[in-house]
């Protein structure tokens, strides 16, 4: 069997070495005679898996003991309501920055729980740029400032970490966590759906500064209360054990690659290759201001969108899968997360060049 190059935005490609290890351990994890997915989450074996995964994540991301690390069920979208329920406390509202579809979804959900101020928006530009922070209308009494560092659908990415002053900074890092070095100390809370750079779907990682725990509103459901989850080591109920285990294998794999510093260098090189090809072509185009182009998600259009289906059919035949852009924006999108090898980017560029020669 030949492995394809999977450019899906999520669930995304996983490292082949991780899949092979999971395959080998599927029926018998370390002589226990059972699969990880059959284990009790209270067993010593699974507690070992969970604790090791958390420590490896802390090592990779540089997470200090000032933060709790939670492995929760669901995806990042579940956090859109959990964050205001847990962080608004006795304050009336929070500030949000709108840079795309995921920002808009977070804003809409947060408005169920408080007064949400859109401090800045790039909607007028079609979400092709990031507003200058000097023009943001933030509030010193906001419970927190929320932003989306990388808009997976639109391919728009911050090239800076906003300065939120004394207001806790909250970030949806679903598509960027572990893709490069990060100063976690600048954030009050980071959340990330696992299905891009961490592991399979069904799991979301929350990194929260401990002083922000214990502020949940009284109506917050128990299973959505960060304090409860932290107090119970993410095992108040049965967690997504197999997803947690696979995430732990990915963390080990990342360490073997040289950690986030090495991955950042590789990811930047992959992105530059693809953008340089697009920019050097009169057949393909990317709409995002160059400074704010995503390393992880590269949208592009063809000179004639009537050729889109033919392009996708040819890509599939060559094992270049899931290049169709999100239904809300159209065109193409290549998601080039950690586990997508550089050879995959080279293969995509080769096909794009061939298609342009034949159809341009």
The DSSP element (H or E) to which 206 belongs, if any, is: strand 203-209
- Burial level of 318, CB count in 10 A (0-12/13-18/19+)? middle
- Burial level of 42, CB count in 10 A (0-12/13-18/19+)? exposed
Cβ proximity of 20 and 3 under 8 Å = no
The pLDDT tens digits of the residues spanning 18-31 come to 999 999 999 999 99
In the numeric block, which tokens belong to residue 135? 């023009």
pLDDT of residue 167: 98
Q: How far is CA 38 from the centre of its chain?
A: 28
Instruction: Identify any residues that bridge with 116 across adjacent strands, giving them in sequence order.
Output: 94
Sequence ranges of the domains in the chain? 17-256, 258-359
Mark out the alpha helices in 33-91 (DSSP H runs): 44-61, 76-87
Strands (E), 24-162: 67-73, 93-98, 115-121, 145-147, 150-151, 156-157
Please report the sign of the dihedral spanned by the C-alpha atoms of residue 129, residue 133, residue 138, residue 143.
positive
Contacts of 87 (CB under 8 A, 6+ apart): 94, 143, 144, 168, 170, 188, 189, 212, 215
Residues serving a catalytic function are 102, 172, 196
Question: What average pLDDT does the chain have?
Answer: 96
pLDDT of residue 330: 80
Report how far residue 119's alpha carbon sits from residue 116's, in angstroms, rounded to the nearest whole number: 9
Closest CA to 96 of 144, 40, 31, 58: 144
In the numeric block, which tokens belong to residue 184? 């976690």
Report how far residue 316's alpha carbon sits from residue 16's, in angstroms, rounded to the nearest whole number: 20
For the domain spanning 17-256, the CATH number is: 3.40.640.10
Q: Same topology for domains 17-256 and 258-359, yes or no?
A: no
pLDDT of residue 1: 56
Report how far residue 264's alpha carbon sits from residue 256's, in angstroms, rounded to the nearest whole number: 14
Question: Does the pLDDT at position 148 exceed 60?
Answer: yes
Q: Classify residue 115 by its DSSP letter.
A: E
Which option is the CATH number for 258-359: 3.10.20.600, 3.90.700.10, 3.90.1150.10, 3.40.630.10? Answer: 3.90.1150.10
pTM above 0.75, yes or no: yes
Question: Does the pLDDT at position 274 exceed 70?
Answer: yes
Angle at the Cα of 104 (from 146 to 70), degrees rounded to 5?
45
The pLDDT tens digits of the residues spanning 229-246 come to 999 999 999 999 999 999
Report how far residue 63's alpha carbon sits from residue 333's, in angstroms, rounded to the nearest whole number: 32
Q: Classify residue 174 by its DSSP letter.
A: T
Closest CA to 138 of 159, 162, 107: 162
The pLDDT tens digits of the residues spanning 161-195 come to 999 999 999 999 999 999 999 999 999 999 999 99
Query: How far separated are the first and last CA of the chain, in Å rounded?
Result: 33
Question: Does the pLDDT at position 132 exceed 90?
Answer: yes
């Amino acid at each position: 069997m030949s492995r394809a190059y999977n450019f899906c935005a999520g669930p995304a490609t996983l490292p082949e070495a991780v899949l092979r290890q999971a395959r080998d351990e599927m029926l018998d994890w370390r002589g226990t005679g059972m699969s990880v997915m059959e284990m009790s989450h209270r067993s010593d074996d699974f507690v070992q898996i969970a604790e090791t995964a958390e420590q490896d994540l802390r090592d990779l991301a540089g997470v200090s003991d000032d933060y709790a690390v939670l492995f929760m069920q669901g995806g990042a979208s579940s956090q859109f309501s959990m964050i205001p329920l847990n962080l608004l406390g006795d304050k009336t509202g929070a500030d949000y920055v709108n840079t795309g579809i995921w920002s808009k979804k977070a804003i809409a959900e947060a408005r169920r729980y408080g007064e949400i101020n859109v401090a800045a928006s790039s909607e007028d530009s079609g979400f092709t740029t990031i507003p200058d922070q000097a023009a943001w209308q933030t509030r010193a009494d906001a419970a927190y400032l929320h932003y989306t560092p990388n808009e997976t659908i639109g391919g728009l990415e911050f090239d800076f970490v906003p300065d939120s002053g004394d207001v806790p900074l909250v970030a949806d890092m679903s598509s960027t966590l572990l893709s490069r070095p990060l100063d976690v100390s600048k954030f009050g809370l980071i959340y990330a759906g696992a299905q891009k750079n961490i592991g399979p779907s069904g799991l979301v990682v929350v990194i929260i500064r401990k002083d922000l725990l214990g502020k949940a509103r009284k109506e917050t459901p128990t299973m959505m209360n960060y304090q409860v989850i932290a107090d119970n080591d993410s095992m108040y109920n049965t967690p997504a054990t197999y997803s947690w285990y696979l995430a732990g294998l990915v963390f080990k794999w990342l360490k073997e690659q040289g950690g986030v510093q090495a991955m950042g260098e590789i990811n930047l090189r992959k992105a530059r290759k693809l953008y340089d090809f697009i920019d050097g072509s009169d057949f393909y185009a990317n709409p995002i201001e160059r400074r704010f182009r995503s390393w992880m998600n590269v949208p592009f259009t063809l000179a004639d969108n009537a050729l889109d289906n033919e392009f996708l059919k040819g890509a599939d035949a060559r094992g270049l899968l899931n290049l169709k852009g999100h239904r809300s924006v159209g065109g193409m999108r290549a998601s080039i997360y950690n586990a997508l090898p550089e050879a995959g980017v080279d293969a995509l560029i080769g096909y794009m060049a061939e298609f342009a020669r034949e159809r341009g």
